[in-house]
């Protein structure tokens, strides 16, 4: 490993020209886990060239055979699940048990899309005039550039590459510079599974501007799949406008979590704690960001929520029983803390947590005591911005109409949750929330079989479901003249 972890281009494991590397660190203790090849212009060109060259044969392979390779990848990932999970915890920091669940979930995208590949069918349409037929079908869109974030180092990768590969596209993946090791391990598995060289390339780099300038705007790249912040997404959208490159975006969120007076108490309580704190310690785009509690249940719910949060175990990810690991870096921790401080300054009350954790096993990591704030109002930054960390703002409401209006008053629209035992209210609220994913008495998030994506500034397009593979295709209409 002296020369660093290599990236995967055209079926070969290569260093960057000149040998540049960047460090991947463990957010739990600051140690350098690996030095990784730091790609630049020449590697970007080679990766795109490889994806372009391999596209033709891969796209023409029959879907069932592409599916066989994807199923092999799925099986190998499952065999190596704990090994992959170890990498996830090392580079991302999340508790090992959570990392295992992530890897197990992530590999399911290969199974789902291996099957979906066989169902990309078209239509034969009767003509309004005699002597003509219309034939409509989908073709793979072409070489794809995929850019992924650090919070789910396995899932964010498979949720994009599985549908792209299934559709017949080749891929250049640029994983987050904080978490490239899981992506490289997945690449190794695709190699063992027999994916042809060049069909999947992993370009590791921490020079994200270069990626924007040279990979995403490359004329041979036909589609960009991006998951990350809304801010970076907007920049990519502008750059892509130059050649109208197709886009799929999974961006930021500001999820409301609504507890009505008639909610089933225990599931609502457990759902709120889990969706706020137990997905990468709150660093997930679908995490509860604003917890709205109806006045009639607040007196019981809020104290129970605070007690539950006090019992959460914050610890390095490999420590048995760890429930919340470190934040990914100091910048993220400082951002969460500044939102907490700002809320307090504007009249919110911090009832537990909300400090840096420093002693003993915390000393060298980015640990933060899970915070609960009450008396929060909608105009505070903590209710308006994506928190992306272990801080829970609690807001009280009176009526259904009021909470729907308040829940929708954001530029984001990714995920929302609500708990009620009134079936008619369940239907009304689910229909009125302006969000791509709505959990009605449920806080477990999406699954492979359903489309996932955001309304408004939370994204474009969908991942998963039938829609997930369609995103990597173009529709072609053929006019057949029989006369
Ligand atoms: P980010 O800063 O937008 O980075 C995401 C990816 O884009 C990383 O690979 C990053 O590289 C790269 N990148 C950064 N600047 C770029 C640029 N100018 N041009 C091209 N690529 C660039 O997001 P993050 O901070 O890693 O992740 C947190 C955000 O992602 C949150 O807003 C969260 O809500 C969102 N997210 C959304 C979903 C979803 O499904 N909707 C899922 C997960 C996360 P580097 O790693 O080198 O910076
Ligand atoms: Mg960032």
- The first and second tokens of residue 90, run together, are 């090392």
Give the per-residue pLDDT at 4.
86
Tell me the C-alpha distance between 414 and 396, whole Å: 22
> Does residue 1 belong to any structural domain of this protein?
no
Tell me the C-alpha distance between 465 and 455, whole Å: 17
Pair 428, 387 in one domain: yes
CA of 211 to the centre of ligand 1 (A): 12
> Does residue 416 belong to any structural domain of this protein?
yes
Q: Which ligand is nearest to the CA of 230?
A: 1
Pair 61, 173 in one domain: yes
pLDDT tens profile 397-425:
999 999 999 999 999 999 999 999 999 99
> Does residue 463 belong to any structural domain of this protein?
yes
**Where residue 333 sits, what CATH number does that domain have?**
3.40.309.10
| 212 vs 12 pLDDT, higher one | 12
> Does residue 453 belong to any structural domain of this protein?
no
Q: 6 pLDDT band (50/70/90 cuts)? A: very high
> Does residue 371 belong to any structural domain of this protein?
yes
Tell me the C-alpha distance between 203 and 3, whole Å: 16
Pair 33, 181 in one domain: yes
The mean of the pLDDT values for the chain is 97
**Where residue 71 sits, what CATH number does that domain have?**
3.40.605.10
Tell me the mean pLDDT in the region 280-295. Answer: 98
Pair 71, 183 in one domain: yes
Tell me the mean pLDDT in the region 333-361. Answer: 97
Pair 416, 273 in one domain: yes
> Does residue 2 belong to any structural domain of this protein?
no
CA of 187 to the centre of ligand 2 (A): 23
Beta bridge partner(s), residue 155: none
- The first and second tokens of residue 52, run together, are 């372009």
Give the per-residue pLDDT at 2.
46
Best mutation site among 39, 232, 448 for ligand 1, i.e. most ligand atoms within 8 A of its Cβ? Answer: 232
Tell me the mean pLDDT in the region 57-68. Answer: 98
Tell me the C-alpha distance between 165 and 147, whole Å: 15
Beta bridge partner(s), residue 437: 415
Q: Would you please indicate which residues are annotated as catalytic (active-site) residues? A: 250, 285
Question: Whose CA is closest to atom 30 on ligand 1?
Answer: 228
Give the per-residue pLDDT at 3.
73
For 367-399, letters b (16+ CB in 10 Å) and e give bbbbbbbbbbebebebbbbbbbbbbbbbbbbee
Tell me the DSSP string of 161-225.
HHHHHHHT--EEEE--TT-HHHHHHHHHHHHHTTPPTTSEEE---S-HHHIIIIITT-TT--EEE
The total number of structural domains in the chain stands at: 2
pLDDT at 289 over 60: yes
> Does residue 71 belong to any structural domain of this protein?
yes
pLDDT tens profile 118-158:
999 999 999 999 999 999 999 999 999 999 999 999 999 99
Tell me the C-alpha distance between 218 and 33, whole Å: 32
Question: Whose CA is closest to atom 19 on ligand 1?
Answer: 212
Pair 364, 269 in one domain: yes
Tell me the DSSP string of 73-128.
HHHHHHHTHHHHHHHHHHHH---HHHHHHHHHHHHHHHHHHHHHGGG---EEEE-S
Pair 243, 341 in one domain: no
Domain with 334 in it: 255-447
Residues with Cβ within 8 Å of 158's Cβ and at least 6 positions away in sequence, in order, are 106, 107, 109, 110, 186
Alpha-helical segments (H) within 242-363: 265-277, 295-310, 330-345
pLDDT at 1 over 90: no
> Does residue 452 belong to any structural domain of this protein?
no
Pair 111, 231 in one domain: yes
Pair 374, 408 in one domain: yes
Q: Could you tell me how far CA 100 lies from the centroid of its own chain?
A: 16
Pair 43, 157 in one domain: yes
Q: Which ligand is nearest to the CA of 177?
A: 1
CA of 361 to the centre of ligand 1 (A): 29
Give the per-residue pLDDT at 316.
98
Best mutation site among 209, 229, 280 for ligand 1, i.e. most ligand atoms within 8 A of its Cβ? Answer: 229
Q: Quick count: other Cβ atoms within 10 Å of Cβ 267?
A: 13
For 439-473, letters b (16+ CB in 10 Å) and e give bbeebebbebeebbbbbbbbbbbbbbbebbbbbbb
pTM > 0.85: yes or no: yes
Pocket around ligand 1 at a 6 A CB cut-off: 147-151, 156, 174, 176-178, 206, 208-209, 211-212, 227-229, 232, 235, 250-253, 285, 386, 388, 414, 454, 459
pLDDT at 197 over 80: yes
Residues with Cβ within 8 Å of 244's Cβ and at least 6 positions away in sequence, in order, are none
Pair 271, 331 in one domain: yes
Give the per-residue pLDDT at 450.
98
Tell me the mean pLDDT in the region 40-68. Answer: 98
pLDDT at 85 over 60: yes
Tell me the mean pLDDT in the region 257-279. Answer: 98
Tell me the C-alpha distance between 396 and 375, whole Å: 8
Tell me the mean pLDDT in the region 340-362. Answer: 96
Q: Which helix (H) or strand (E) holds 48?
A: helix 41-60
Pair 73, 99 in one domain: yes
């Amino acid at each position: 490993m002296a020369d660093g972890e290599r990236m995967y281009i055209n079926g070969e494991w290569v260093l960057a020209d000149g040998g540049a590397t960047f460090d991947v660190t463990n957010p739990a203790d600051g140690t350098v886990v690996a030095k990784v090849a730091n790609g630049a212009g020449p590697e970007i060109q080679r990766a795109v060239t490889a994806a372009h060259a391999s596209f033709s044969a891969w796209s023409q392979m029959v879907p069932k055979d592409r599916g066989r390779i994807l199923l092999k990848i799925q099986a190998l990932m499952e065999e190596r699940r704990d090994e992959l999970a170890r990498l996830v915890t090392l580079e991302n920091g999340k508790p090992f048990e959570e990392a295992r669940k992530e890897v197990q979930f992530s590999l399911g995208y290969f199974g789902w899309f291996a099957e979906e590949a066989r169902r990309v069918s078209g239509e034969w349409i009767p003509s309004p005039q005699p002597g003509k037929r219309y034939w409509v079908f989908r073709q793979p869109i072409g070489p794809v550039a995929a850019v992924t974030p650090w919070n789910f180092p396995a899932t964010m990768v498979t949720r994009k590459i599985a549908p792209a590969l299934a559709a017949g596209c080749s891929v250049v993946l640029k994983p987050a510079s904080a978490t490239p090791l899981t992506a490289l391990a997945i690449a190794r598995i695709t190699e063992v599974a027999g994916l042809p060289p060049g069909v999947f390339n992993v370009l590791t780099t921490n020079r994200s501007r270069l990626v924007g300038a040279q990979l995403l705007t490359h004329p041979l790249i036909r589609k960009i799949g991006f998951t990350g912040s809304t801010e970076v997404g907007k920049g990519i959208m502008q750059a892509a406008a130059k050649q109208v490159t197709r886009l799929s975006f999974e961006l930021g969120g500001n999820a409301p979590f609504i507890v009505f007076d008639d909610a089933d108490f225990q599931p609502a309580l457990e759902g709120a704690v889990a969706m706020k704190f137990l997905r990468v310690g709150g660093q997930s785009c679908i995490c509860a960001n604003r917890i709205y509690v109806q006045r009639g249940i607040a007196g019981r719910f809020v104290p129970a929520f605070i007690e539950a949060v006090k019992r959460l175990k914050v610890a390095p990810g490999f420590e048995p029983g760890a429930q919340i690991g470190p934040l990914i870096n100091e910048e993220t921790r400082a951002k969460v803390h500044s939102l907490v401080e700002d809320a307090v300054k504007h009249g919110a009350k911090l009832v537990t947590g909300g400090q840096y954790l420093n002693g003993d096993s915390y000393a060298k990591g980015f640990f933060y005591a899970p915070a609960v704030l009450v008396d929060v109002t909608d105009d505070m930054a903590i209710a308006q911005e994506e928190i992306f960390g272990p801080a829970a703002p609690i807001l009280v409401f009176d009526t259904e109409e009021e909470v729907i209006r308040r829940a929708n008053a954001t530029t984001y629209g990714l995920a929302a949750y609500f708990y009620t035992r009134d079936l008619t209210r369940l239907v009304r609220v689910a229909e009125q929330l302006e969000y791509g994913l709505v959990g009605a008495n449920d806080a477990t998030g999406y699954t492979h079989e359903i489309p996932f994506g955001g309304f408004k500034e939370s994204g474009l397009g969908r991942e998963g479901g039938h829609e997930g593979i369609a995103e990597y295709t173009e529709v072609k209409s053929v006019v057949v003249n029989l006369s």
